[in-house]
A and B are shown apart, each in its own frame.
Chain A
Amino acid sequence: MVKRKFVMKVAAALSIALVAAACSSNSDPSGSSTTSGGGSVVVSGSSTVQPISSLVAEKFNASNPDVAVKVDGPGTGDGFVLFCEGQTDINDASRPIEDSEAADCQKNGVNYTELKVGLDGITVMTSANNAAVTCLTKGDLYSLFGPESQGFTSWADANALAMKQGGKGQFPDAPLDITAPGEESGTYDAFIELVGIEDMALADKVPADQAATLRPDYQSSPSDNVIIQGIEGSDTSLGFVGFAFADQAGSSVKKIEIDGGSGCVTPSQDTIADGSYPLSRSLYIYVNNDKIKSNPALKSFVDFYLTADGLASVNEADYVDLPADQIQATKDAWAQASA
Chain B
Amino acid sequence: MTQVPTGTHLERPGASLAPGLSAVLLGDPRRRRREKLIAAAFRAAAAFSILVGVLIVVSLLGEAVSFLRSIPLRSLWTDGWFPRRGMFDVKTILFGTLIVSVIAMVIAAPLGIGAAVFLSEYASSRFRRTVKPILETLAAIPSVVMGFFALTWISPSIVEKLMGGNSIFSMMAAGIGVGILVTPLVASIAEDAMHAVPQSLREASYGLAARRRTTSVRIVMPAAVSGIVASLIVGLSRAVGETMVVAIAAGASGGSLFTVDPFGPGQTMTGAMAALATGSDQVTGNSAAFQSLFFVGLLLFGMTLVLNLISERFVRRMRAKY
- Asked if A and B form a direct contact in the complex, defined as CB atoms under 8 angstroms apart, the reply is yes
Could you tell me which A residues sit within 8 Å of B by CB distance? 74-75, 78, 81-82, 85, 87, 175, 177, 181-184, 213, 216-217, 219-223, 226, 229-230, 232-235
Q: Which residues of the other chain, A, contact B80 by a CB distance below 8 angstroms?
A: 216-217
Contact B279 A230 (CB under 8 A): no
Least CB distance from A316 to B in Å reads 26
- Asked if B283 and A216 sit within 8 Å, CB to CB, the answer is no
Starting from the known contacts A216-B257, A230-B167, 9 additional A-B residue pairs (CB-CB under 8 Å) come to A181-B254, A182-B84, A216-B79, A216-B82, A216-B85, A220-B255, A221-B251, A222-B254, A222-B279
Interface residues of B in 238-290 (CB under 8 A from A): 251-257, 265, 278-284, 287
Question: How far apart sit A82 and B167, CA to CA, in the bound complex (Å)?
Answer: 34
Q: Which residues of B contact A223 (CB under 8 A)?
A: 253
Given contacts A183-B85, A184-B84, A221-B254, contact A234 B166 (CB under 8 A): yes
Quick check: B279 and A233 within 8 Å, CB to CB? no
User: When the two chains form their complex, are residues B278 and A74 in contact, meaning their CB atoms are under 8 A apart?
Assistant: yes
Residue of chain A at shortest CB distance from B169: A230
Asked if B283 and A78 make an inter-chain contact with CB atoms under 8 angstroms apart, the answer reads yes
Closest A residue to B87 using CB positions = A216
In the complex, the answer to whether A177 meets B84 with C-beta atoms within 8 Å is no
CB-defined contacts of B265 to chain A, threshold 8 Å = 219
* Residues of the B chain whose Cβ atoms lie less than 8 Å from the Cβ of A234: 166-168
Please state if A182 and B255 are interface contacts (CB–CB under 8 Å): yes
Question: Does the CB pair B169–A182 fall under 8 Å?
Answer: no
Q: Is the CB of B167 within 8 A of A78?
A: no
23 A-B pairs in the complex with CB atoms less than 8 angstroms apart:
A75-B279, A78-B279, A78-B283, A181-B254, A183-B85, A216-B79, A216-B82, A216-B257, A217-B79, A217-B80, A217-B257, A219-B167, A219-B169, A220-B254, A220-B255, A221-B254, A230-B168, A230-B169, A232-B168, A233-B166, A233-B167, A234-B168, A235-B166
With A175-B166, A183-B84 known as contacts, the answer to whether A74 contacts B79 (CB < 8 A) is no
**Chain B hits for A226, CB < 8 A:** 169, 251, 253
Separation of A181 and B254 alpha carbons in the complex (Å): 8
Smallest beta-carbon distance A326→chain B, Å: 31
Q: How far is the CA of A154 from the CA of B254 in the complex (A)?
A: 21
Q: Tell me the complex Cα distance, A219–B266, Å.
A: 9
| Residue with the highest number of chain A CB atoms closer than 10 Å, among B80, B84, B85, B287 | B84
Which residues of B have CB within 8 Å of A230? 167-169, 251
Q: Which residue of B lies closest to A81 (CB)?
A: B283
Across the A-B interface, give the 7 residue pairs with the lowest CB-CB distance, nearest first.
A220-B254, A233-B168, A182-B254, A221-B253, A217-B257, A183-B84, A78-B280
